[in-house]
Amino acid sequence: MTDTFPADALPLDGMLVLDFSQFLAGPMAATRLGDLGARVIKIERPQGGDIGRRLAFAGVVEDGDTLSFHITNRNKESYAADLKSPDDLVGIRALVARADVIIQNFRPGIMERLGFGYDAVAAINPGIIYASISGYGGEGPWKDRPGQDLLAQSLSGLPWLNGSGDDPPVPVGIALADVIASIHLASGITAALLRRERTGFGGRVDTSLLESMLDLQFELISAHLGDLSIVVKRGARNTAHAFLQAPYGIYPTADGYLAIAMTSVPELGSLIGLATLEQYTDPDTWWSEQTAITRALADHLATQSTEHWLTILDAADVWCAPVLTLPELVSHEGFLALDMTQHVTRPGTKGSASVDIQTVRAPVRFDGRVLKNGRGAPRLGEHTEAIRAEFQQEVAP
């Protein structure tokens, strides 16, 4: 045992992950493991590969693959195989015999029908960590519904938490269920790998889009289960939380928007010169008079710039922040100080130029070091022959 951990080593170096998944949640879970050092081999159909290669975020396509595919499958190898072909199954089983982790996000029962359910895989490799993401779990009336982000958000009730009482249900405008589920799966996998190191036992890790959305609402669901009278009642315009009193909200200024979190209403009124708020000395009125308070704040804050109010409120250590637009965010020195971006490159082939994409890096650091990897997403089947030769040779008698 050395006294220091090698500076260029990563926590999951030496681990082999087979990524059978498609779209976003499963592939992103595998990418998170790759960011931590694991080798990730993506198993794809020879005809078309991962459907995510064709589902374009913002309509952006580079070198025949969508932007989403390039980002969520960076730093992987692609192995093309028909899971219904006896010849291709030989190669897949050779990979399974050596893998540490399998990730899949087919609908419940499909991997079993293909011959790669957990029991079949564990018979080949008892120490395997078999990780699955479904839409809604393997049991119950929703298990066969399409596992898609907006649908999972909707079934979870999350859209009722956004916007004001005058708005319809408002979903979160990113693939929140997919992203959160990928984090939960990667966390479960790393825990299972640790257990295997300690005990020698492999096992299963399962999560779903819906369970991830329910966990995100743990406070709300817990409160309702304890008191059924607690339900979502969104507040007036500018409020930002159905269960927090004024002044919690987002308010227009003369040139943008300002977010204000928990703070004393009368003290806030005194700081910004809004005497109307100084009468609300009883915190109970921050609930009962929420509409009046937020309307008064919105009218008053709109008279000056965001920076004007920040100068006053920051000096008093009031919890507040500007609401940045996307261009403002990526050009801000606060964003740049995080060193949050990286370039990933896929070399060109005959007739195609290389693809260079700027994206975000892994959001964790190890020993003070940010984790970046410039290897781009693979072309369909790009590494099939090399992988087949490598693993068939290793498992030969």
Residues 6+ apart with CB under 8 A from 87: none
Among 118, 92, 123, residue whose Cα is nearest residue 106: 118
For residue 297, the surrounding DSSP H or E stretch is helix 290-301
How far apart are the C-alpha atoms of 68 and 60, rounded to whole Å?
8
Hey, how many other C-beta atoms are within 10 angstroms of the C-beta on 330? 13
Structure tokens at 321: 């922040």
Dihedral, CA atoms, 182, 183, 184, 186, nearest 10 degrees? 80
Asked if 241 is an active-site residue, the reply is yes
> Do residues 329 and 322 make contact, with C-beta atoms less than 8 angstroms apart?
no
- Eight-class DSSP state of 23: T
How far apart are the C-alpha atoms of 374 and 354, rounded to whole Å?
13
For residue 315, the surrounding DSSP H or E stretch is helix 306-315
Q: Which of 70, 184, 224, 241 is catalytic?
A: 241
Task: Give catalytic residues, as residue numbers.
Answer: 241
